[in-house]
Amino acid sequence: MESILSFFNEQLIMLYLLIFTVILGFEVISKVPTVLHTPLMSGANAVSGVVIIGAILLVRQASSGDTLQLCLGTLGVILGMVNVIGGFAVTDRMLEMFKKKKK
Amino acid sequence: MLVSSIVNLAYLIGAIAFVWGLRLLSSPDSARRGNVLAGIGMGIAIIATLSTPLAEGDNNYLWIMVGLLIGGITGWIAAKKIQMTAMPQMVSVFNGLGGACATVLALAELTRFYDGVQVMSTGQLSIALFTLLIGAISFTGSMLAFGKLDGMIKDKHVILPRHGLINLVLLIAVLVMSVWLAIQGSAAGLVLALVFLILALIYGFSFVAPIGGADMPVVISLLNSFTGLSAAAAGLIYGNQIMLVGGILVGAAGTILTVLMCQAMNRSLFNVIVGGFGSASLSGGAGTDGDQVAKVATVNDAAIQMFYANSVMFVPGYGLAVAQAQKTVKELDDLLEANGVDVKYAIHPVAGRMPGHMNVLLAEADVPYPKLLDLDDANAALKDTDTVVIVGANDVVNPAALDDASSPIYGMPVLEVWNAKNIIVLKRSMSAGYAGIQNPLFFHERNRMLFGDAKDSIQKLVTEVKNM
């Protein structure tokens, strides 16, 4: 019990951030028109590639002899980077096609 | 000190760029800028992470650069080569890789913990286990969704007898094991943690297995929100704010889309996950039609009805995408517009295989987005429409959803095409839709059927209209 309480206190700022971001996220995104559902999903998907930051930190923090950590971290960097670059590029390609009627 | 302040500021700017970018993504005029802005935010965050001073470790920049290069090139090529009809598959793959990345991070963290290199409190251990679990479910779930959307895997190949029960047992096993591992701490050992990982991977696969067809938009949205959650949880492991913010935003976007997709089919998320329309639906809604005969139109009749109308509304369904007929429809649209016909498109929220998929396909064919009406606008406009042309859609235009309480799709919001003066249904045959139910619309007195492949039929209509 004590360890849970101390964990709660340690992570208090993160908890605030978490809750406010949840509220902000729902506010910002809830009014998306049907036309943009696919780009929103693939754009959001690219943002979830932010997990790559953890992978970069993992590799940087590893000692150069720790092959297991280096391999796991680099695998993470590759996976995250495919998600980031692929996600943003494909969303851009899609949005490029959305245009108003030329008169 | 100065460097770490700059890094923190960069993270803050990155997080603001994510929020603002997603905000701009919610309006068609600003969406492209929004995506670019979020991308810039990501770039800033990555550069900041590369330059932040660390107390420990050897940096290993070579490993990172190789990883960035391989991942970046792979992602770029995939994004440039993919067909727009294959967009749902691509998004599923990218999504699954994000989940896999989170899982790998949690695994690395856990190996250090069980090797005794690193101390973790119960809270930290719980978060690492949660990241491992959600990331793994998202990974295998997305990969199966990819296989299904791509047509490589058929539903019948992966559905076991009593699959709902198997899933329930698996879910309970995974949850119990995660709690047990969190309580046991380092005494449990790495081997059991790996067993847990394998169970989570199996569950992800098994939970998507029975979901198919028209429910795919729901499951893709849900998996998207899982990946967001796993990224946010990984952010908690590293105490990194921008990972938390980015992950939660994605979780919110995925959740909103999941809810919207469920509403569009008038089904609860539980109902979608536990089982599709099932066998009971096959009997439902029968008896309404009996031996009625649908009236058939010739290409010439249909062309005349469209050419001399004041307004025409197309209702595209997935059948249109399968036939790759978007561009042909646009050609017909141009010919009609040139004759002064007002042409619009009615898009049901679950048309296609992912949320908003039909809009993307029509945009690719150069249809301007103001011509695409959503459910409410389309239903309002249908009352004043002369001719409505249904191309490869079925359940979303079924009147039984409104007036037949015994129908399995009763209560689902549908496009009320029968309010238009004339109805033309382009269809291969009289077969039932995804839900496996008959559509009374086909026997409507103002409806005419034009049988044949969607692209083929529209091509004939184009030729016919050209000759008028």
What percentage of chain B carries pLDDT values higher than 90?
Answer: 55
Longest dimension (CA), chain B: 82
Q: How many CB pairs lie under 8 A apart between chains A and B? A: 380
What is the phi/psi pair of residue B242, to 5°? -70, -30
Q: Are residues B108 and B203 in the same domain?
A: yes
Domain residue limits at A80: 34-103
Q: Which residues of B touch A12 (CB under 8 A)?
A: none
Q: Are residues B48 and B145 in the same domain?
A: no
Q: Are residues B143 and B214 in the same domain?
A: yes
Q: Are residues A98 and A49 in the same domain?
A: yes
Domain residue limits at B369: 299-466
Nearest Cα to B358, choosing from A94, A90, A43?
A94
What are the tens digits of pLDDT across the range B51-99? 999 888 889 999 999 999 999 999 999 999 988 888 889 999 999 999 9
What are the tens digits of pLDDT across the range B13-24? 999 999 999 999
Average pLDDT over residues B194-219: 90
Residue B74 lies in a domain: no
The whole-model pTM stands at 0.86
Q: Are B128 and B109 in contact (CB under 8 A)?
A: yes
How big is the CA angle at B317 (ends A98 and B258), to the nearest 5 degrees?
A: 75
Cβ contact, residue pair A59, B67, below 8 Å: yes
Q: Are residues A44 and A89 in the same domain?
A: yes
Burial class (CB in 10 A: 0-12, 13-18, 19+), A13: exposed
Q: Are residues B250 and B361 in the same domain?
A: no
Surface of B (355-374) touching A: CB under 8 A: 355-357, 359-360, 363-364, 366, 368-372, 374
What pLDDT sits at residue B285?
A: 38
Whether residue B277 is predicted with pLDDT greater than 60 in this model: the reply is no
ipTM: 0.93
Average pLDDT over residues B158-165: 81
Nearest Cα to A51, choosing from B240, B143, B107?
B240
Active-site residues of B, by number, are: 395
* Per-position DSSP letters for A39-95, written without gaps between them: HHHHHHHHHGGGGHHHHHHHHHHS-TT-HHHHHHHHHHHHHHHIIIIIHHHHHHHHH
Q: What is the CATH number of the domain that holds B372?
A: 3.40.50.1220
How big is the CA angle at B393 (ends B387 and B397), to the nearest 5 degrees?
A: 65
Interacting residues of B264 by C-beta distance below 8 A, sequence separation 6+: B348, B349, B350, B375, B412, B413
Q: Are residues A47 and A21 in the same domain?
A: no
Cβ contact, residue pair A53, B123, below 8 Å: no
**In this structure, is the dihedral angle defined by the CA atoms of residues B324, B326, B329 and B335, taken in order, positive or negative?**
negative
What pLDDT sits at residue A11?
A: 84
Higher pLDDT, residue B73 or B152: B73
- The domain tally of chain B equals 3
Question: Binning pLDDT at 50, 70 and 90, where does residue B436 land?
Answer: low
Q: Are B332 and B409 in contact (CB under 8 A)?
A: no
- The domain tally of chain A equals 2
In this complex, the residue of B25, B242, B370 whose CB is nearest that of residue A101 is B370
- Residue in the structure block whose two tokens are 């066998």: B279
User: Rounded CA gap, B416 and B118, in Å?
Assistant: 62
What pLDDT sits at residue B211?
A: 83
Q: Are residues A43 and A90 in the same domain?
A: yes
Q: Are residues A15 and A4 in the same domain?
A: yes
In this complex, the residue of B46, B59, B220 whose CB is nearest that of residue A60 is B59
